[in-house]
Structure 1
Amino acid sequence: MARDTHRVMPHKDGGWQVKRDGDEKASHRTDTKTEAEKLARPISQHQHTELQIHGKDGRIQSSDSHGNDPYPPKG
């Protein structure tokens, strides 16, 4: 996996985590998904990474890129 994505995803021991691809440990762990999203978004914006929000089932529910979009956009 590339190191240009931050993810909000369930933690194996309960709660939610903010984790960057390639890192072994989560940078943040919270009780709620909302808290994790609030922490992850400014981190992703500052580091110009993609932010993917996962559901409890592990599937991606939403994705935002911060700073890596081509300009002008294709199409």
Structure 2
Amino acid sequence: MANQHVVPNNGQWQVKRENADRATKTFNTQKEAIEYGKDIAMRQQSELIIHDRHGRIRDKDSYGNDPCPPKDTRF
């Protein structure tokens, strides 16, 4: 399945499937977009990639079958 990205767009936040031209859905806050993207990533067993407001990757969460998962250092 395709990874999901939370990306900024003109003061709003979008959830976009990897390599998609159009957003799946647009939100007013990053928090709303993350929750929506997380739900999709969990159902599809894919990865959620969260970008900061400058478009740089700030976090990744894997919900798939990662053969070599790293230890999560967040609490």
**If the length of structure 1 is used for normalisation, what is the TM-score?**
0.82
Identity over aligned pairs, percent: 39
Q: Shift in Å at residue 5 of structure 1?
A: 1.4
Query: How far apart, CA to CA, are the structure 2 residues paired with 1:58 and 1:32?
Result: 15
- Structure of larger gyration radius: 1
Q: Which residue of 2 aligns with 1:43?
A: 40
Give the corresponding residue for 2:51.
Answer: 54
Gaps of 5+ in 2: 70-75
- Deviation string, structure 1 residues 17-69 (Cα, Å, up to 9, x no partner): 00001221101100000110111101011011111000001111100111130
- Name the CA shift for 1:8/1:39 in 2 (closer, same or farther; >3 Å): same
The count of corresponding residues between Structure 1 and Structure 2 is 69
Q: What root-mean-square deviation, in Å, do the aligned CA atoms of Structure 1 and Structure 2 show? A: 1.6
Which letter does structure 1 place at the counterpart of 2:49?
Answer: Q
Amino acid at match of 2:7: M
The answer for the alignment partner of 2:72 in structure 1 is none
- Choose the corresponding residue for 1:26, options 23, 27, 38: 23
Q: TM-score normalized by structure 2?
A: 0.82
